[in-house]
Structure 1
Amino acid sequence: MISNLIFYFCLVQKFIKIYRQNIYGVMGTLVFHILLFAAFLLSDVDIKGNVKEDTILIEFPDIIPEPEVEEESLEEKPEVRTDKENYNNRSNIASNRSATENTTKSADEFFDDEYLKELEAAQKLVSDVNNQLSKEIVDLSDIKMPVETTEGMDPDSIKNVIYTGESNIIYFLENRYHLRLPVPVYLAQGGGTVTVDIKVNQAGKVTEAVARQNNSIRDKQILLYAQEAASRTVFNSDPNAPASQKGSIQYTFVAQ
């Protein structure tokens, strides 16, 4: 008997323990079913699961009346403008014409001054280039030049300045004098002074001649004439001179 009581007591304790462990789950299940039942009631669903649907009735009249359409004339009505609109239009036309005339006048003044000056300068530049390109290319080695010689003269009497009319030639080469000095000044169409740097060997021959640039000279051809004349120049031989002695020859051209 006591053993049975102990058994039942242990069984009750076990159920109580299980109940305590699952009380929240049981309560949650009950609450869920209560809410589900309430939802069925609100949605008007019966216990069997049949949904009650309300019938929607739409009544159509036997004859649908057509909308009345006012007859409009297919011909376009002439646009009637008031005197005020006509005045505004005339004012706008006058304003546009005035603005156009002012713009044209300003453009004409611009073209008459700045643009035309630039255009004239550009045309002159093109003309100068075309004239330069149209010049016949001359082989300088074929050009004949008069030559100033000092044959039979006393070396002490020879000067380094040679005059040919209004033009002159001056050379600078220490302790040397010319034997043959070509004169190119008569070939020039334009004028100016050209200096040619030269190198002379001990035998008196010019081994190098380079004309210095001179921006004041317009006829660039005279630079080539001066350089060719310098390269043809012959000085006296001097075994004591440097192997490549530096000097210069200055040519003054007078415009023809």
Structure 2
Amino acid sequence: MKIGELYRRNVYGVIGTLVFHILLFSAFLLADVDIKGNVKEEAILIEFPEELLEPEIAEPETQEENTDQPNSEQNTNTRTNIASNRSATENTTNSTDEFFDDDYLKEVEAAKQLVSNVNNNLAKETVDLSDIEMPVETTEGMDRDSIKNVIYAGESNIVYYLENRYHLSLPVPVYLSQGGGTVIVDIVVNRQGQVVNAEPREDRSIRDKQLFAYAKEAAIRTLFNSDNSAPSRQKGTIQYTFVAQ
């Protein structure tokens, strides 16, 4: 009886005590309190779905597109550089043209014209010297002993050397050329007195090369006396002194 009465009197206290201990135990479980009273915070774990954790595999086509992109950029840069170079070249040309004045450009054109004229003259065919008329020195009616091998024509002269022979007809070309100078021609004469070969000697001091052609033509036209006792091919020389006109 005493136990029952005691229970009835303290039932609410017992229930309150039980509830308090339950709550306290639950708090210990949640807070994980150690013996010293320190609270340990538990790490919060967040789980992700497995689909999100799987790494994505890049497709080959995407890599090829990324690889081709630098080439496209290089091609674009190359075209840009070419266009810039062309523009710079055009600007330089225009600046050069503006730099020179009209007088300078006229001189350049005149020089070009002069070069063109010289080239045209050099391209022309050699003049046919056989059609050129030359004064002729003859010994017709003269005594053989009075004939000299030196012929004077004003400031010029012609001198020939052919042993025991004298001229019958000697053309004088010394006033045909614009330039001046002395040309020596080696000749070969037959027994009939005809010049069968004539070769001017080279002389670099003579600027007017036409002198050599005139001298050779005059030597070929020269006629000496015939001599059956002379060598069949007698050698000699004729020297022409040209006067500049």
* TM-score normalised by L of structure 2: 0.53
Question: Given the superposition, is the C-alpha separation of residues 214 and 132 from structure 1 closer, same or farther in structure 2, using an over 3 Å criterion?
Answer: farther
Alignment of 1:99-118 (within 5 A): none
Name the SS of the counterpart of 1:186 in structure 2: coil
2:191 is aligned with 1:166 = no
| Consecutive unaligned residues in structure 1, runs of 5 or more | 1-58, 66-121
Q: How far apart, CA to CA, are the structure 2 residues paired with 1:128 and 1:194?
A: 28
Match of 1:210 among 196, 199, 209: 199
Q: How far apart, CA to CA, are the structure 2 residues paired with 1:240 and 1:155?
A: 17
Q: How far apart, CA to CA, are the structure 2 residues paired with 1:229 and 1:210?
A: 11
Question: Given the superposition, is the C-alpha separation of residues 61 and 238 from structure 1 closer, same or farther in structure 2, using an over 3 Å criterion?
Answer: same
Question: Given the superposition, is the C-alpha separation of residues 128 and 240 from structure 1 closer, same or farther in structure 2, using an over 3 Å criterion?
Answer: farther
2:187 is aligned with 1:193 = no
Q: How far apart, CA to CA, are the structure 2 residues paired with 1:60 and 1:195?
A: 120
Match of 1:142 among 124, 128, 131: 131
Name the SS of the counterpart of 1:152 in structure 2: coil
Name the SS of the counterpart of 1:225 in structure 2: helix
- Aligned pair count reads 143
Name the SS of the counterpart of 2:193 in structure 1: coil
Higher Cα radius of gyration: 2
Q: For 1:153-179, what per-residue CA distance to the aligned partner results, in whole angstroms no more than 9, with x for missing partners? A: 111111111010111100010010000
2:242 is aligned with 1:253 = yes
Match of 1:83 in 2: none
Name the SS of the counterpart of 1:141 in structure 2: helix
| Consecutive unaligned residues in structure 2, runs of 5 or more | 1-45, 54-110
Name the SS of the counterpart of 1:187 in structure 2: coil
Alignment of 1:90-105 (within 5 A): none
2:140 is aligned with 1:155 = no
Match of 1:13 in 2: none
Q: How far apart are residue 130 of structure 1 and its match?
A: 2.4
2:48 is aligned with 1:61 = yes
Query: Quick check: 135-144 or 148-157, which moved more?
Result: 135-144
Name the SS of the counterpart of 1:189 in structure 2: coil
AA partner of residue 139 (structure 1)? D
Q: How far apart, CA to CA, are the structure 2 residues paired with 1:62 and 1:146?
A: 126
Question: Given the superposition, is the C-alpha separation of residues 126 and 170 from structure 1 closer, same or farther in structure 2, using an over 3 Å criterion?
Answer: same
Q: How far apart, CA to CA, are the structure 2 residues paired with 1:189 and 1:131?
A: 19
Question: Given the superposition, is the C-alpha separation of residues 127 and 192 from structure 1 closer, same or farther in structure 2, using an over 3 Å criterion?
Answer: farther
Percent identity reads: 70
Q: Which runs of 4+ in 1 moved over 2 A?
A: 59-65, 125-132, 134-137
AA partner of residue 238 (structure 2)? I
Question: Given the superposition, is the C-alpha separation of residues 132 and 179 from structure 1 closer, same or farther in structure 2, using an over 3 Å criterion?
Answer: same
AA partner of residue 61 (structure 1)? F
